[in-house]
Structure formats: structure tokens, C-alpha cells
Amino acid sequence: MGEAIVITSGKGGVGKTTTSANLGTALALSGKKVCLVDTDIGLRNLDVLMGLENRIIYDLVDVAEERCKLKQALIKDKRFECLYLLPAAQTKDKSSITPEQVKKIVQELKQDYDYVIIDCPAGIEQGFKNAIAGADKSIVVTNPETASMRDADRIIGLLEQEDMEPPKLIVNRLRNHLAKNGDMLDVDEIVSVLSIELLGVVIDDENVIKAANKGEPVALQPDSKASIAYRNIARRILGESVPLLSLEEDKGFFGKIKTLLGMK
């Protein structure tokens, strides 16, 4: 019996879908059986990021309304044997499915998969209620900016009322030089306001955009900063204790020597 983790944020555009795609990929890289579930009915994106758009035949609503079997709707990933996607419907809207239906589907998926990653739509209405219905755990994604933090705070409040473990936090799209100059909220400040456990920090990395447009999750790249961050988060989900990545920029050759000599 696996566990279901919902990825949510409240505000749109902070990187829920990117996080879902990359955590799913990173967990699959560690050899776990993973199923990604896109609950953003009407605005599905997860299939695009995974590069699986053209393989969709049945979707979440079809399964809920029993037009097909659950197994028929699952799409196997191009790269991994153990990674599957249950896509959202594009032609319907959020109200075409109920939390009970989602819960039943997630329960069924948990029998076969180690991790069920649920990508939640923005907002706190029907779509959000659908997405969290079957989840055991939750991850809140936020950007280091006031608006997204306000919404994250609201979402955490709603999640705390649910019968699940306390949510964990991912700070996405951090630009270190801005945070250091005080032009952007820094991670400590965010964690102190939201007061939940920090699962990881992902640097704003242009490789994420490049990879997304190619339909290849960035977590597959060996050495980009975002990729390492996502893989570390996956390891923390698996229960390993991995220290947070150093956010410092490379100091260059002379910088390193100075550090060695204790001058800096």
C-alpha cells in the first residue's frame, strides 16, 4: 500500500505542475513505482511537461464516470517502466467530478503504486477539494514573494483542518542574489511565517523552462541546480536526511583558494 501526496499552493503559476512532474520523475529514478494524477480538469498541463500529451485516450473524468477501466486511462512514461500518468480531462470543468470519486480512484492506485502524486489546480474551490480528497500527505509550493506566501498560508490553514499529516513546504524559484540583497523574501523568513517543515528549496533555473518545453522533466538532467534540488527533495520524501543545498553561487578559482586559506 503506497501513499498519496498532493502538491498544492493556492496561487497559480508558482510551479505545482513542474514540482509534481519532477518529484514523480525523481522518485521513479530511485526505483519507486509512481503514478502522477492531474486533477486540474479543464487546464491540464502535467501531460505536456511529461511529453505524453499525444498518448492520451481516456482521462480522469472517464474513469470517474466509469466509461473505462482505471488501467486503460493510465499512460506509461516514455523513459521509465515504473512511472505512470493519469491525465485530467481538457473538455470538462472542475465540477464534473466529486471528491468521493477522486478518493476512490486514489485508493485504487495506492494498491499498485508506492507513490501517488496528485497535482492540484490553483484556487481553494471544488478543484482543490477534489485534489486533497484522497491524499495522505501534502506539499505546499510557494515562491519567495508576498502574494504567493499569503495564499500558501491560507492553503496550509485549510490543509490543517483535514485528516492528514501536517503539510510540508517547498520554496520554488528562489533567486539567491535578490534574497541576499533583501529585495526578495529569504527562506528563513518564509519558514518562520508559515511555520511548517521545509522540504526543500529550488533555485530559479532556466533549465526548468527549457526542459519543460521539450517535455523532459528537468530532474533527468544530471547536474543542473534545479534537478539536484528536486532529486534531494525526493530523497527526503523517501526518508533520507539530506542537507539543504548550499545556495551560494560558485566563487570561482580564487574564491575557493581564499576560502581554503581562511581569508573569506
Partner 1 sequence: MAMVQKLQHNVTIKGTKDGLVLLLDDKCSFDLLIEELNDKLTAGSSQMLSGPVISVKVKAGNRYLTAEQEEKLTEVLKQKENLILDDFDSNVITKAEAEEMRKDAQVVTVSKVVRSGQVLDIQGDLLLIGDVNPGATVMATGNIYILGSLKGIAHCGTKGNEEAIIAASVMKPSQLRIAHYINRAPDSYPEIGNEMEFAYISNEEKQIRIDRINAVHRLRPKLNSLL
Q: Which is nearer to partner 1, 10 or 121 (CB)?
A: 10
Q: Give residue 34's identity as a one-letter amino acid code.
A: V
What separation in angstroms does the CA of 50 have from each of 17, 21, 131, 144, 168?
10, 7, 19, 26, 24
Residue 17 assigned as binding residue: yes
Q: How far is CA 227 from the centre of its chain?
A: 13
In angstroms, give the least distance from the CB of 121 to partner 1. 18
> Which residue number, 72 or 195, has a Cβ lying nearer to partner 1?
195
Q: How far is the CB of 151 from partner 1 (least distance, A)?
A: 8
Q: Report the distance separating Cα 41 and Cα 44, nearest Å.
A: 6
DSSP string, 69-133: -HHHH-EE-SS-TTEEEEPPPSSS-GGGS-HHHHHHHHHHHHHH-SEEEEEPPSSSSHHHHHHHT
- Which position among 154, 177, 210, 258 is part of the footprint of partner 1 (CB under 8 A)? 154
Contacts with partner 1 by CB under 8 A: the residue count is 11
Of the candidate residues 73, 156, 171, 233, the single one contacting partner 1 (CB under 8 A): 156
Which of 68, 193, 209, 257 is close enough to bind partner 1 by CB under 8 A?
Answer: 193
- Strand-pairing partners, residue 115, are 3, 34
* Nearer to partner 1 (CB atom), residue 109 or residue 156: 156
Contact 103/134 with Cβ under 8 angstroms?
A: yes
Encoded one letter per residue, x for contact with partner 1 by CB under 8 A and - for no contact, window 112-131 reads --------------------
Q: What CA–CA distance (Å, rounded) separates 24 from 18?
A: 10
Q: Interior CA angle at 214 toward 208 and 217, to 5°?
A: 50
Site for partner 1 in 134-153 (CB under 8 A): 150-151, 153
11 is in an annotated binding site: yes
Residue 195 interacting with partner 1 (CB under 8 A): yes
Stretch that binds partner 1, among 16-24, 58-66, 106-114, 190-198 (CB under 8 A): 190-198
Instruction: Give the nearer residue to partner 1 in terms of CB position, either 24 or 167.
Output: 167
Question: Among 90, 104, 103, which residue's Cα sits nearest to residue 47?
Answer: 90
186 touching partner 1, by CB under 8 A = no
**100, 67 Cβ separation under 8 angstroms:** no
106 is in an annotated binding site: no
In the complex, least distance from residue 154 CB atom to partner 1, rounded to whole angstroms: 4
Q: How far is the CB of 20 from partner 1 (least distance, A)?
A: 23
Segment lying near partner 1 (by CB under 8 A), choices 37-45, 46-54, 129-137, 189-197: 189-197
| Widest pairwise Cα distance in the chain | 69
Among 68, 71, 157, 213, binds partner 1 (CB under 8 A): 157
Residues at the contact surface with partner 1, assessed by CB under 8 A? 150-151, 153-154, 156-158, 160, 193-195
